[in-house]
Structure 1
Amino acid sequence: MTVRVIFVSPAIGPELRQARFADEASAYGGGAADGGAPHGGDALDEAGARAARALRPDLPVASRRFASPSARCRRTAEELGLADALAEPALSGCAPGRWRGRTLDEVAAEEPEALMAWLADPAAAPHGGESVRQLCARVAGWLDGTAAGLTGRLLVVAEPDTVRAAAVHALGVPDHAFRRLDVPPLAVVELTGRSGRWNLRLG
Protein backbone atom coordinates (compact mmCIF):
# COMPACT_ATOMS: atom_id res chain seq x y z
CA MET A 1 0.00 0.00 0.00
CA THR A 2 1.12 3.54 -0.73
CA VAL A 3 1.66 6.02 2.08
CA ARG A 4 1.95 9.79 1.76
CA VAL A 5 4.38 11.47 4.18
CA ILE A 6 4.17 15.25 4.42
CA PHE A 7 7.11 16.84 6.22
CA VAL A 8 6.84 20.36 7.64
CA SER A 9 9.98 22.06 8.96
CA PRO A 10 9.77 24.13 12.17
CA ALA A 11 8.86 27.80 12.19
CA ILE A 12 11.53 30.43 12.76
CA GLY A 13 12.87 30.89 16.26
CA PRO A 14 16.00 32.14 18.07
CA GLU A 15 18.14 29.09 17.29
CA LEU A 16 17.38 29.20 13.57
CA ARG A 17 17.84 32.96 13.38
CA GLN A 18 21.24 32.72 15.07
CA ALA A 19 22.40 29.62 13.13
CA ARG A 20 22.84 27.94 16.52
CA PHE A 21 23.21 24.20 17.01
CA ALA A 22 20.21 22.85 18.92
CA ASP A 23 20.72 23.39 22.63
CA GLU A 24 18.91 20.38 24.00
CA ALA A 25 19.61 16.71 24.62
CA SER A 26 19.06 14.24 21.81
CA ALA A 27 18.32 10.54 21.79
CA TYR A 28 21.09 10.12 19.22
CA GLY A 29 24.80 10.64 19.89
CA GLY A 30 25.68 13.58 22.11
CA GLY A 31 22.55 13.81 24.23
CA ALA A 32 22.36 13.87 28.00
CA ALA A 33 25.15 11.32 28.19
CA ASP A 34 27.74 13.86 27.05
CA GLY A 35 27.28 15.86 30.23
CA GLY A 36 25.13 18.64 28.79
CA ALA A 37 21.77 19.69 30.12
CA PRO A 38 18.86 20.33 27.82
CA HIS A 39 17.40 23.79 28.16
CA GLY A 40 16.77 25.00 24.63
CA GLY A 41 15.54 28.53 25.39
CA ASP A 42 12.57 29.88 23.49
CA ALA A 43 11.44 27.39 20.89
CA LEU A 44 9.84 29.94 18.55
CA ASP A 45 9.52 33.69 18.45
CA GLU A 46 6.18 35.39 17.92
CA ALA A 47 6.76 35.83 14.19
CA GLY A 48 7.40 32.12 13.86
CA ALA A 49 4.34 31.16 15.87
CA ARG A 50 2.18 33.52 13.81
CA ALA A 51 3.51 32.08 10.54
CA ALA A 52 2.78 28.54 11.73
CA ARG A 53 -0.79 29.46 12.63
CA ALA A 54 -1.23 31.01 9.18
CA LEU A 55 -0.16 27.72 7.55
CA ARG A 56 -2.64 25.65 9.55
CA PRO A 57 -5.62 25.94 7.12
CA ASP A 58 -3.47 24.74 4.21
CA LEU A 59 -2.45 21.46 5.80
CA PRO A 60 -4.42 18.37 4.81
CA VAL A 61 -6.11 16.07 7.27
CA ALA A 62 -3.80 13.21 8.22
CA SER A 63 -4.46 9.82 9.75
CA ARG A 64 -1.29 10.01 11.87
CA ARG A 65 0.88 12.84 13.11
CA PHE A 66 4.52 12.77 14.24
CA ALA A 67 7.08 15.34 15.37
CA SER A 68 10.77 15.54 16.07
CA PRO A 69 11.06 15.71 19.88
CA SER A 70 12.78 19.12 19.92
CA ALA A 71 11.04 22.06 21.60
CA ARG A 72 10.78 24.02 18.36
CA CYS A 73 9.15 21.13 16.50
CA ARG A 74 6.73 20.42 19.34
CA ARG A 75 5.78 24.10 19.54
CA THR A 76 5.40 24.32 15.75
CA ALA A 77 3.15 21.26 15.83
CA GLU A 78 0.98 22.93 18.46
CA GLU A 79 0.66 26.12 16.43
CA LEU A 80 -0.24 24.02 13.38
CA GLY A 81 -3.05 22.39 15.33
CA LEU A 82 -1.14 19.11 15.72
CA ALA A 83 -0.74 19.11 19.48
CA ASP A 84 -1.40 15.35 19.52
CA ALA A 85 1.60 14.64 17.27
CA LEU A 86 3.62 11.70 18.56
CA ALA A 87 7.18 12.64 19.50
CA GLU A 88 9.40 10.33 17.45
CA PRO A 89 13.07 10.06 18.54
CA ALA A 90 14.04 8.57 15.17
CA LEU A 91 13.13 11.93 13.61
CA SER A 92 15.44 13.94 15.87
CA GLY A 93 17.81 16.39 14.26
CA CYS A 94 21.47 15.50 13.80
CA ALA A 95 23.00 15.36 17.29
CA PRO A 96 25.75 18.04 17.46
CA GLY A 97 27.68 16.64 20.44
CA ARG A 98 29.82 19.26 22.16
CA TRP A 99 28.73 21.93 19.66
CA ARG A 100 25.27 21.94 21.16
CA GLY A 101 24.15 25.48 21.93
CA ARG A 102 27.01 27.14 19.99
CA THR A 103 26.57 29.24 16.89
CA LEU A 104 28.13 28.33 13.57
CA ASP A 105 30.31 31.47 13.80
CA GLU A 106 31.56 30.45 17.25
CA VAL A 107 32.53 26.99 16.07
CA ALA A 108 34.18 28.46 12.95
CA ALA A 109 36.31 30.72 15.13
CA GLU A 110 37.25 28.08 17.71
CA GLU A 111 37.43 24.86 15.65
CA PRO A 112 37.80 25.86 11.98
CA GLU A 113 39.40 22.60 10.82
CA ALA A 114 36.82 20.47 12.61
CA LEU A 115 34.00 22.52 11.12
CA MET A 116 35.43 22.21 7.61
CA ALA A 117 35.76 18.45 8.03
CA TRP A 118 32.13 18.23 9.19
CA LEU A 119 30.90 20.29 6.24
CA ALA A 120 32.94 18.36 3.67
CA ASP A 121 32.63 14.75 4.82
CA PRO A 122 29.21 13.17 5.53
CA ALA A 123 30.94 10.52 7.66
CA ALA A 124 32.68 13.07 9.90
CA ALA A 125 31.51 13.76 13.45
CA PRO A 126 34.30 15.86 14.98
CA HIS A 127 31.91 17.20 17.63
CA GLY A 128 31.48 13.73 19.09
CA GLY A 129 27.81 13.55 18.15
CA GLU A 130 26.26 12.12 15.01
CA SER A 131 27.49 12.29 11.43
CA VAL A 132 25.30 13.27 8.49
CA ARG A 133 25.69 9.71 7.19
CA GLN A 134 24.34 8.31 10.45
CA LEU A 135 21.46 10.78 10.36
CA CYS A 136 20.55 9.80 6.80
CA ALA A 137 20.62 6.11 7.70
CA ARG A 138 18.43 6.70 10.75
CA VAL A 139 15.79 8.69 8.86
CA ALA A 140 15.84 6.15 5.99
CA GLY A 141 15.22 3.42 8.54
CA TRP A 142 12.17 5.25 9.88
CA LEU A 143 10.78 5.82 6.39
CA ASP A 144 11.29 2.24 5.24
CA GLY A 145 10.18 0.80 8.57
CA THR A 146 7.60 2.78 10.55
CA ALA A 147 6.24 5.01 7.77
CA ALA A 148 6.15 2.29 5.11
CA GLY A 149 4.14 0.08 7.45
CA LEU A 150 1.32 2.63 7.61
CA THR A 151 -1.28 3.73 5.08
CA GLY A 152 -2.96 7.00 4.24
CA ARG A 153 -1.45 10.38 4.94
CA LEU A 154 1.13 11.19 7.63
CA LEU A 155 1.97 14.71 8.80
CA VAL A 156 5.45 15.07 10.25
CA VAL A 157 6.90 18.22 11.84
CA ALA A 158 10.62 17.59 11.59
CA GLU A 159 13.95 19.35 11.94
CA PRO A 160 15.36 20.81 8.69
CA ASP A 161 18.22 18.33 8.60
CA THR A 162 15.77 15.47 9.13
CA VAL A 163 13.78 16.67 6.11
CA ARG A 164 16.98 16.92 4.08
CA ALA A 165 17.90 13.35 5.05
CA ALA A 166 14.44 12.15 4.00
CA ALA A 167 14.81 13.83 0.61
CA VAL A 168 18.27 12.27 0.11
CA HIS A 169 16.80 8.83 0.77
CA ALA A 170 13.75 9.36 -1.44
CA LEU A 171 15.89 10.49 -4.39
CA GLY A 172 18.48 7.77 -3.89
CA VAL A 173 21.33 10.28 -4.18
CA PRO A 174 24.68 10.09 -2.35
CA ASP A 175 24.71 11.63 1.13
CA HIS A 176 27.09 14.31 -0.18
CA ALA A 177 23.94 15.87 -1.69
CA PHE A 178 22.67 16.59 1.84
CA ARG A 179 24.53 19.93 1.93
CA ARG A 180 23.03 20.97 -1.40
CA LEU A 181 19.47 20.95 -0.08
CA ASP A 182 17.96 24.01 1.61
CA VAL A 183 14.94 23.65 3.90
CA PRO A 184 13.56 27.03 5.01
CA PRO A 185 11.20 27.47 7.96
CA LEU A 186 7.76 25.92 7.42
CA ALA A 187 8.82 24.26 4.19
CA VAL A 188 6.47 21.48 3.10
CA VAL A 189 8.05 18.41 1.49
CA GLU A 190 5.92 15.48 0.40
CA LEU A 191 7.04 11.89 -0.16
CA THR A 192 4.83 9.17 -1.55
CA GLY A 193 5.53 5.49 -1.91
CA ARG A 194 6.51 2.56 0.22
CA SER A 195 9.60 0.84 1.60
CA GLY A 196 12.48 1.00 -0.86
CA ARG A 197 10.64 3.21 -3.35
CA TRP A 198 9.79 6.83 -2.60
CA ASN A 199 8.86 9.73 -4.85
CA LEU A 200 9.49 13.36 -3.97
CA ARG A 201 6.56 15.55 -4.90
CA LEU A 202 7.26 19.20 -5.73
CA GLY A 203 4.72 22.00 -5.64
Structure 2
Amino acid sequence: MTPCANGNDYINATFCDGYNKRNAFIVTQAPMSEPADTTVDFWRLVLDYKTDIIVQLNDKIETCAEYLPQRISQELKIDQFTINTKSSEQNDLMIERKIMLQKDNKVQEILHFEFRQWCNAERVPKVDSFVRFIAAVQRAHIPQHNRPIIIHCLNGAVRSGLFCSVYSIIDKIKEEKIVDVFQTLKTLRSVCPTMVNSKVQYTFCYDAALCYLDGSEAYVNF
Protein backbone atom coordinates (compact mmCIF):
# COMPACT_ATOMS: atom_id res chain seq x y z
CA MET A 1 0.00 0.00 0.00
CA THR A 2 2.89 2.39 0.70
CA PRO A 3 3.67 4.12 -2.62
CA CYS A 4 7.19 3.63 -3.92
CA ALA A 5 8.64 4.52 -7.30
CA ASN A 6 10.89 1.46 -7.47
CA GLY A 7 8.43 -0.99 -5.95
CA ASN A 8 6.31 -3.69 -7.56
CA ASP A 9 2.54 -4.05 -7.41
CA TYR A 10 2.81 -7.66 -6.21
CA ILE A 11 4.68 -9.54 -3.47
CA ASN A 12 4.75 -13.29 -2.87
CA ALA A 13 3.05 -13.20 0.54
CA THR A 14 0.05 -14.90 2.13
CA PHE A 15 -1.95 -14.36 5.31
CA CYS A 16 -2.25 -17.43 7.55
CA ASP A 17 -4.50 -17.84 10.57
CA GLY A 18 -3.10 -18.74 13.98
CA TYR A 19 -4.61 -20.86 16.74
CA ASN A 20 -7.32 -18.35 17.72
CA LYS A 21 -6.60 -15.35 15.55
CA ARG A 22 -7.21 -14.57 11.91
CA ASN A 23 -4.24 -13.37 9.87
CA ALA A 24 -1.83 -14.05 12.74
CA PHE A 25 1.02 -14.64 10.28
CA ILE A 26 2.20 -13.31 6.96
CA VAL A 27 4.40 -15.82 5.16
CA THR A 28 6.52 -14.49 2.35
CA GLN A 29 9.47 -15.24 0.14
CA ALA A 30 12.86 -14.02 1.29
CA PRO A 31 13.85 -10.63 -0.23
CA MET A 32 15.28 -11.33 -3.67
CA SER A 33 17.55 -9.47 -6.09
CA GLU A 34 16.64 -11.47 -9.21
CA PRO A 35 14.68 -11.59 -11.46
CA ALA A 36 13.26 -8.51 -9.71
CA ASP A 37 14.52 -6.72 -6.61
CA THR A 38 11.93 -7.25 -3.88
CA THR A 39 13.78 -5.77 -0.89
CA VAL A 40 11.83 -2.51 -0.97
CA ASP A 41 8.58 -4.45 -1.33
CA PHE A 42 9.48 -6.53 1.73
CA TRP A 43 9.95 -3.42 3.87
CA ARG A 44 6.75 -1.90 2.46
CA LEU A 45 4.99 -5.05 3.67
CA VAL A 46 6.52 -4.68 7.14
CA LEU A 47 5.55 -1.01 7.36
CA ASP A 48 2.03 -1.37 5.97
CA TYR A 49 1.04 -4.09 8.44
CA LYS A 50 2.94 -2.58 11.39
CA THR A 51 4.78 -5.83 12.00
CA ASP A 52 6.96 -5.89 15.09
CA ILE A 53 8.41 -9.42 14.66
CA ILE A 54 10.20 -10.89 11.63
CA VAL A 55 11.27 -14.54 11.53
CA GLN A 56 13.98 -15.62 9.10
CA LEU A 57 14.18 -19.36 8.40
CA ASN A 58 16.64 -19.42 5.52
CA ASP A 59 20.38 -19.05 5.91
CA LYS A 60 21.79 -15.58 5.21
CA ILE A 61 24.05 -17.01 2.53
CA GLU A 62 20.97 -18.31 0.73
CA THR A 63 19.19 -14.96 0.86
CA CYS A 64 19.60 -13.45 -2.59
CA ALA A 65 19.37 -9.82 -1.49
CA GLU A 66 20.88 -7.93 1.44
CA TYR A 67 18.05 -6.37 3.39
CA LEU A 68 19.66 -5.90 6.82
CA PRO A 69 22.71 -3.87 7.88
CA GLN A 70 25.85 -5.94 8.36
CA ARG A 71 26.83 -4.36 11.67
CA ILE A 72 25.24 -2.77 14.73
CA SER A 73 24.53 0.97 14.33
CA GLN A 74 25.17 0.73 10.60
CA GLU A 75 22.42 2.16 8.42
CA LEU A 76 21.17 0.50 5.26
CA LYS A 77 19.17 2.61 2.82
CA ILE A 78 16.78 0.87 0.48
CA ASP A 79 14.86 3.31 -1.66
CA GLN A 80 12.96 5.54 0.81
CA PHE A 81 13.60 3.23 3.77
CA THR A 82 16.37 3.43 6.35
CA ILE A 83 17.11 0.27 8.35
CA ASN A 84 19.28 0.39 11.45
CA THR A 85 20.32 -2.53 13.65
CA LYS A 86 20.31 -1.27 17.24
CA SER A 87 21.40 -4.50 18.95
CA SER A 88 22.20 -8.11 18.14
CA GLU A 89 22.52 -11.18 20.36
CA GLN A 90 23.39 -14.61 19.05
CA ASN A 91 23.96 -18.17 20.14
CA ASP A 92 24.03 -21.55 18.41
CA LEU A 93 20.25 -21.53 18.08
CA MET A 94 19.49 -18.08 16.69
CA ILE A 95 20.36 -14.43 16.22
CA GLU A 96 17.99 -11.91 17.77
CA ARG A 97 18.22 -8.36 16.45
CA LYS A 98 16.48 -5.14 17.38
CA ILE A 99 15.86 -3.13 14.21
CA MET A 100 14.59 0.38 13.59
CA LEU A 101 12.76 0.94 10.32
CA GLN A 102 12.25 4.50 9.18
CA LYS A 103 10.45 6.07 6.25
CA ASP A 104 9.86 9.82 6.27
CA ASN A 105 8.46 10.56 9.74
CA LYS A 106 7.41 6.96 10.45
CA VAL A 107 9.64 4.93 12.76
CA GLN A 108 8.97 1.30 13.61
CA GLU A 109 10.81 -0.95 16.08
CA ILE A 110 11.10 -4.59 15.06
CA LEU A 111 12.52 -7.75 16.59
CA HIS A 112 14.22 -9.96 14.01
CA PHE A 113 14.75 -13.66 14.79
CA GLU A 114 17.09 -15.67 12.57
CA PHE A 115 17.02 -19.44 13.05
CA ARG A 116 20.49 -20.97 12.69
CA GLN A 117 19.75 -24.68 13.02
CA TRP A 118 18.28 -25.60 9.63
CA CYS A 119 20.83 -26.37 6.92
CA ASN A 120 20.13 -26.81 3.21
CA ALA A 121 20.31 -30.59 3.23
CA GLU A 122 17.70 -31.05 5.96
CA ARG A 123 14.03 -31.39 5.09
CA VAL A 124 13.19 -30.55 8.69
CA PRO A 125 15.34 -29.20 11.54
CA LYS A 126 15.98 -30.87 14.88
CA VAL A 127 12.72 -30.95 16.82
CA ASP A 128 14.19 -29.70 20.09
CA SER A 129 15.92 -26.74 18.43
CA PHE A 130 12.81 -25.73 16.49
CA VAL A 131 10.56 -25.84 19.56
CA ARG A 132 13.05 -23.78 21.55
CA PHE A 133 13.23 -21.24 18.74
CA ILE A 134 9.44 -20.93 18.55
CA ALA A 135 9.32 -20.54 22.34
CA ALA A 136 11.67 -17.55 22.04
CA VAL A 137 9.45 -15.92 19.41
CA GLN A 138 6.33 -16.58 21.49
CA ARG A 139 7.89 -14.92 24.52
CA ALA A 140 8.54 -11.78 22.46
CA HIS A 141 5.14 -11.68 20.77
CA ILE A 142 2.42 -9.51 22.32
CA PRO A 143 -0.93 -10.73 20.92
CA GLN A 144 -2.75 -7.64 22.21
CA HIS A 145 -0.87 -5.51 19.69
CA ASN A 146 -2.82 -7.33 16.96
CA ARG A 147 0.14 -7.27 14.59
CA PRO A 148 0.99 -10.20 12.31
CA ILE A 149 4.32 -12.00 12.55
CA ILE A 150 6.13 -12.00 9.21
CA ILE A 151 7.94 -15.26 8.43
CA HIS A 152 10.14 -15.70 5.40
CA CYS A 153 11.99 -18.54 3.75
CA LEU A 154 13.34 -19.11 0.26
CA ASN A 155 10.00 -19.99 -1.37
CA GLY A 156 7.62 -18.48 1.19
CA ALA A 157 5.93 -21.82 1.92
CA VAL A 158 7.87 -24.92 2.95
CA ARG A 159 9.77 -23.75 6.02
CA SER A 160 7.39 -20.91 6.85
CA GLY A 161 4.44 -23.30 6.79
CA LEU A 162 6.11 -25.62 9.27
CA PHE A 163 6.78 -22.68 11.60
CA CYS A 164 3.15 -21.52 11.51
CA SER A 165 1.92 -25.07 12.10
CA VAL A 166 4.07 -25.82 15.13
CA TYR A 167 3.49 -22.34 16.56
CA SER A 168 -0.30 -22.82 16.39
CA ILE A 169 -0.15 -26.40 17.69
CA ILE A 170 1.77 -25.23 20.76
CA ASP A 171 -0.63 -22.32 21.30
CA LYS A 172 -3.57 -24.74 21.32
CA ILE A 173 -1.81 -27.04 23.80
CA LYS A 174 -1.12 -24.09 26.09
CA GLU A 175 -4.68 -22.78 25.99
CA GLU A 176 -6.82 -25.93 25.72
CA LYS A 177 -4.48 -28.77 26.73
CA ILE A 178 -5.43 -30.41 23.42
CA VAL A 179 -3.22 -31.71 20.61
CA ASP A 180 -4.96 -31.32 17.25
CA VAL A 181 -2.37 -31.49 14.48
CA PHE A 182 -4.86 -32.54 11.80
CA GLN A 183 -7.23 -29.58 12.23
CA THR A 184 -4.35 -27.09 12.49
CA LEU A 185 -2.83 -28.30 9.24
CA LYS A 186 -6.21 -28.47 7.51
CA THR A 187 -6.82 -24.80 8.31
CA LEU A 188 -3.35 -23.81 7.15
CA ARG A 189 -3.46 -25.81 3.91
CA SER A 190 -6.87 -24.38 3.01
CA VAL A 191 -5.03 -21.08 2.49
CA CYS A 192 -1.78 -22.43 1.08
CA PRO A 193 -1.87 -26.08 -0.13
CA THR A 194 1.91 -26.20 -0.59
CA MET A 195 2.51 -25.95 3.16
CA VAL A 196 3.29 -29.12 5.15
CA ASN A 197 2.76 -31.24 2.05
CA SER A 198 5.06 -34.14 2.93
CA LYS A 199 4.87 -37.04 5.37
CA VAL A 200 8.18 -35.93 6.89
CA GLN A 201 6.83 -32.50 7.83
CA TYR A 202 3.48 -33.94 8.94
CA THR A 203 5.24 -36.35 11.30
CA PHE A 204 7.49 -33.53 12.48
CA CYS A 205 4.44 -31.62 13.76
CA TYR A 206 3.50 -34.55 16.02
CA ASP A 207 7.11 -34.85 17.19
CA ALA A 208 7.14 -31.13 18.02
CA ALA A 209 3.93 -31.46 20.04
CA LEU A 210 5.40 -34.39 21.95
CA CYS A 211 8.62 -32.47 22.52
CA TYR A 212 6.65 -29.58 24.01
CA LEU A 213 4.53 -31.92 26.14
CA ASP A 214 7.63 -33.56 27.58
CA GLY A 215 7.54 -30.67 30.06
CA SER A 216 11.02 -29.25 29.69
CA GLU A 217 11.31 -25.88 31.45
CA ALA A 218 12.90 -24.52 28.30
CA TYR A 219 9.46 -24.69 26.64
CA VAL A 220 6.77 -24.33 29.28
CA ASN A 221 7.98 -21.39 31.36
CA PHE A 222 6.58 -18.52 29.28
- Identify, as 1 or 2, the structure richer in strand: 2
Q: Answer 1 or 2: higher relative contact order, Cα 8 Å, separation at least 6.
A: 1
Same fold (TM over 0.5): no
Higher helix share: 1
Structure possessing the higher radius of gyration over alpha carbons: 2
